[in-house]
Structure 1
Amino acid sequence: MNVQEYKSRLYSILTKVEPILESCGHKADTDSVKGALANSLEGESTESESKQQLDVIKESIIALLKDTLTEVQIAFVEMEEPDNTDSELFKKHLLKLKDLKQELSSPVSETRKQVSSILRRSKANLVNEISSQAIIFPTECLDTILACPEVEQQNGDQWVLEQINETLNTLLEEVNTRLGASFDAVNEILGSEIDALHTSYKQVITLGCQSTTTMADEVFGVARQTLPAIGIGGLSSTIVATLINPIVGIVTGLAAGGMFIWKSCSSSNRQKKVMELKQQLAPKITLAMNELKTYVIERYDEFEEGIGESIETMNELISKEMQDCVDALKSCEQDSKNFYSSQVALNNKMTALETYIKQLEILMSNPFDNK
């Protein structure tokens, strides 16, 4: 191989390895070597001198390639594989969200069955108890009130009304407490904040041709707020206890607190007054109790409607969070792909550099190449 062929071989190898050198930030060094190689063999010199000149350039190329190879090897060793821990956490969380969405959406899931059972049992118990009180209040309890001596006093009829209205509203407060306990139990299970109570409502019965008790739909208007949270909680023992305990002594205790039975049973005026009051009040008490039952039923209807809206909102939030998990998993997957792609690229660079270094080292070292 003569010096011109020697130069051509050097130039060919340098051209092939040039992209690797430039990608590693050695463009200036590469251009310098290329310039030296291009200017070689320009002047008059012997074959031996020309060969020596090219040998120097070859060693420069080898040194540049070896330095670059070292840098690539260091970069390869220092590469850190992406931590798969985050990916596994996202996968587990995604599965939990999927199960939660299924648990909320399916009417036959354990969560939905538990919610339905609580509402069904508490509603039936409360309605039955109100129905029972609706029989006792306008009969036995009203008779007890009307038998008190205060009835015969001045403004005795107003005193009777006060006892009845106080009892009605005490009963309403107890009903709201029972409703609240039921709704709190469901909210605790679903992780929601559904409000279907109207605690500002008061019942008032007056004497006269018409009752002023107003239990119309507009009175029962409830502002319902649905603020869902993700998660299924347990049912606390205190709420369970409140749901199980019946309404105790609300109506049957009307005659307590200093009242005593008026024993003057011979007064025809008293009997007439009592009968008049009973004729006016008993139907109104019955109506008020029936409307209280309607109030309870409507509160449960409102709450069940709120459950549907709350579950729909929660499912939307869960779907969004599931998509965030999917995006995060895709990002983790892409990080892994980028890592292995970079590994392959660096490995290919090392292989190419080692190959070219070996080719340069043996170039013109074979005695037959010098002939």
Structure 2
Amino acid sequence: MQGRGRERALLFIAFIYTFTGGVVLYLREPGQYGLLAIAAAVVTFAALMLLSIIWQKKGVGFDQYITPLVSFLTGTGMVFLIRLQPAYGYRQLVWLIVGIAALFLTTTLVYNYRLLADYKYVIAVTGILALLLPIFFGIELGGAKSWLNLGVFHLQPSEFVKLLLVLFLGSYLVENRVLLHSGGDKKYFLPGLRQWGPLLGMWLVSLLVLVFQRDLGTALIYFATFLAMLYAATSRLVYVLAGTVMFSVGGVAAYMAVGHVHTRVAIWLNPWDSAQGAGYQLIQSLYAINAGGIVGTGLDAGFPRFIPAVHTDFIFSAICEETGLLGGIGILLVFILLVYRGFKIALASRDDYSEILAAGFTALLGLQVFIIVAGVTKLLPMTGITLPFISYGGSSLVANFILAGMLLNISGESWQHEK
């Protein structure tokens, strides 16, 4: 039976970390909010420990670092959401429970994930339909028309389409790897018409998302993930270079034709031109990060509420203000460790499909983190995507738990081979 003592020890450390955050909130302002943070720590720890026990009884060899790292990130998100917007903290706790259930179902029902390769075109059609739904029936939030109003809650299909994209591309790239890799030992070669097909197809899909949904972040994530997986499958740098040029050309066209994209870029270039209008968010984000200094103002001792949408797009700025540069770097290090574990799972995979799939899911996670952090620090234009596992967003949280479950499945298969 595969022991999971290391996983449980790390889960306990993550629990103490989140529990301490809840206690600090309670001591600063005794009441229900601090107790909610403490309850969130207990619920997360108990649920993930239960999963660890179930996995040990099943004898699976899942990676023992992924769930503790995820627990650390979700704990940070819960503490800061309850501190910033308690109403959203309650909702996020519900989504957190749903996400952990999704993690369990993914590691149980999709353990034999290879079967998904036989349904790649069904997955592709499902993804296309999910993308089209918000265009015709969606509502606009934050300038992007990418949400479905289901009454009780809002659903963002694009968060799940990202996963379907990786599943489809994993199957497609393995099937066409020889064709895409043609060119012998040349690192730089001119692809033929058949090789250009996937690149052009993903470029068009990304532009459609950009134009019709006005969602710059999702379009960028789709195309960047595709390029990362294409490079992992072929080792051809020319695809990355050509794809970057193509997306840049499409981005310039969208900047000229789509008002929302134009506004985002204009804010990025000079937010002080509209300091009391469209640029207000970004300016307050920069002020908050600067106010935090090296060690921060202390939990619940800063003023991050001056930032609109601080619980979603700009939660990293709030973390930097109250925990300082060191706290922000600490969060990024946790993400780096998670990405490291993902790529290590990819390298340990025994076949092309598992390798490309793990690399794709890991690239998807890492790119989201880079793009949102670059946005709130003015390195890139703001894109409106969420910081995985931390920002408020039910669709994002559940989708990222499913992503973590898929990485666990792939790591478990590698262990079975070694055994």
Q: Same fold (TM over 0.5)?
A: no
Structure of higher CA gyration radius: 1
Q: Which has the higher contact order (CA 8 A, sep 6+)?
A: 1
Q: TM-score, normalised by structure 1?
A: 0.19
